[in-house]
Amino acid sequence: MDRIVMKGMAFYGYHGVFPEENKLGARYHVDTELYMALDQPGRSDALEDTVNYAAVHDTIKGIVEGETFKLIEALAERIASEVLRTYTSINEITVRVQKPHPPAPIHFEGVTVEIHRKRA
């Protein structure tokens, strides 16, 4: 299946288990892979034959910046379900949510959750 990859989206959100995370917030990075047929838009060169990735970005931004989750797993699940619900031409989605600097007494670049969901 064809796909549109949206990589490196950065948002500021208030997610986490600790109250400080919900109060102070942090930067989150989101990548998505949108699986859908791209043959028709490839031939027509018409936006109405594909998904407008700027609109998908705005949907994701509204979730990351407008809602609060304890776990990035829940954040990723919400993104996947809302994108599939809103954009019916997308058949499957992979969502990666990275928390670059989790508040843990260990040193690493961050933690990433990746999920893949299909239209039911």
Active site residues: 99
**Strands (DSSP E) found in 38-81:** none
What are 28's strand-pairing partners?
11
CB 3 within 8 A of CB 36: yes
| C-alpha dihedral sign at 96, 102, 105, 107 | positive
Helix (H, G, I), strand (E, B) or coil at 109: coil
* Tokens representing residue 56 in the block: 């998908």
